[in-house]
Amino acid sequence: MSPPTDAKPWVGPEHARTFLTQGVEPAFPGKAAKDIAGIELGNEPDLSYGADLDRYLGDLATYADPSVTGPFPVIAPNTSEDILPWTTLADPTAATRYFHDWPQILDTAAPFMSPRAGAFGAWASDHFYPLARTCANKPYRCASTTSLLSDEHLASLDYEVYTHADEAAEHGLGYRLEETGTAANRGAAGVSDVAASATYALSLMFHTACPRPPDRPEANASCTTAAKGVNFHNAEVRAFFHPEEGNAYYNAIDYDPTETMGAPRAAPLYYAMLLFARFAQGTWDLRPATVTPASAQDRTPEAWQLTTESGEHRLFVINKADHPVRVTVPLKGAQAEISRMTPYDPDGAGRTLDAAQVHIDGRQVADDGTWPGFHPAVLPTTGNRTALTLAAGEAAVVTSSTRP
């Protein structure tokens, strides 16, 4: 869904309907149609429609009609805000594309989205990129591992997710970060494809699960306003339909671009998804936590606590510093074990945040794509607390229990 152009004069409702009847319906016949989460109406319409919000809203209603998109769930608005500090996003007079138009957009979209909810419900979606591959005259966008792991870009994420998730909820919709990555325009070499991307991605998933708006950090203390999911973007390095040129730098899974097409390979960011899926998915009572660094000069690691269905206490601790940090962490009970996601430099050159690989519990995904399994270590405890040393860019999950 976008305005027709000289290069794409065929864009229109009829073309969209053909996509459904000749593409989607044959691929998902009968009961398989329930597996369709939704049809996105427009990709980053704030770019394709520009300042013409009225035309976008008109097309949104047209394409959402069942005569075009059939019975399938539809997803909107799929917007992409410019890479800006949260203070700029918070300014209603600033040029922020469609950021402040979400209430009006959802007024149009929600009435046809809610009745056609799919297996994952009905949700509004957003895109977010903290950095960009190019940043001429826009230093805030410039990509580096230090900038990627900075608090200021996560503050922008918190502000965007909290604001739009809250507005979606007011319209009876869920919210999902439908597209995200480390840097726009397919990522940045030496930033998006190294260990720092895994450290950042793990932090991002927690910030979307519990955004804390920087202007009101206590507004979401119970983590009730949140995204219901995150999609990390995978693409070709230059443009769609040119896979032979290789992988985008921000890919979580790298495909083989050669003619032999061997097995895909897990990139650093994949390990963050793997760790989160194993130890955070399916848990409850998520809260930010506090850990104490041994040195007041050290950057305090990010920490999150949650509880498993069996009553175990889990604590994620994420070191975003470029050097080791020692911390004291609280525990529940006298038993604990720890899994670590650690930068790994296969060249032995001592790289950390810019290391080419990541291990979890000293293990990596095998060449055939299988994961050998987690191998947590027993963690000694004293008085319901323990001391940890986290390597640069390392994240740890400590699981403790009061059960004998």
Q: Measure CA 119 to chain center.
A: 20
Can you tell me the distance from the alpha carbon of 315 to that of 176, in angstroms, rounded to the nearest whole number?
24
Q: How far apart are CA 123 and CA 173, in angstroms?
A: 5
Q: How confident is the model at residue 240 (pLDDT cuts 50, 70, 90)?
A: confident
pLDDT tens digits, one per residue of 128-162: 999 999 898 899 999 999 999 999 999 999 999 99
- The two tokens of residue 68 are 């075009």
pLDDT tens-digit series, residues 71-111: 899 999 999 999 999 999 999 999 999 999 999 999 999 99
State the pLDDT at residue 403.
62
Structural domains of the chain in order of their starting residue, each with its CATH number = 13-269 (3.20.20.80), 283-401 (2.60.40.1180)
> Would you state the pLDDT for residue 383?
76
Amino acid present at 200: Y
Q: Kindly report the pTM of this predicted structure.
A: 0.96
Mean pLDDT of the chain: 94
pLDDT tens profile 14-69 = 999 999 999 999 999 999 999 999 999 999 999 999 999 999 999 999 999 999 99
404 pLDDT above the threshold of 60? no
Question: Which pLDDT does position 296 carry in this prediction?
Answer: 87
Tokens describing residue 220: 């979401």
Query: Does the pLDDT of residue 355 top 70, yes or no?
Result: yes
Residues contacting 216, CB < 8 A, separation 6+: none
Quick one: which H or E segment has residue 271? helix 268-279
d(C-alpha 238, C-alpha 3), whole Å: 24
367-382: pLDDT as tens digits: 989 999 999 999 887 7
Please check the confidence at residue 324 and state whether its pLDDT lies above 80. Answer: yes
Please check the confidence at residue 384 and state whether its pLDDT lies above 90.
no
Contact status, residue 311 vs residue 371, Cβ threshold 8 Å: no
Strands 183-184 and 131-132 turn out to be parallel
- 216: its two tokens: 């009101």
Long-range contact list for 85-94, CB < 8 A, 24+ apart? 85/140, 85/152, 85/155, 85/156, 86/152, 86/155, 86/156, 86/158, 86/159, 86/160, 86/214, 86/215, 89/156, 89/159, 89/160, 89/163, 90/159, 90/215
pLDDT digits (tens, 9 = 90+) for 188-221: 999 999 999 999 999 999 999 999 999 998 999 9
* Backbone Cα Rg of the chain: 22
- Residue 129: name the closest of 142, 118, 116, 120 by CA: 142
pLDDT at 300: 94
pLDDT beyond 60 at 385: yes
Give the rounded percent of residues in the chain with a pLDDT score beyond 70: 99
Predicted local confidence at residue 330, as pLDDT:
85
At 185 the pLDDT is 92
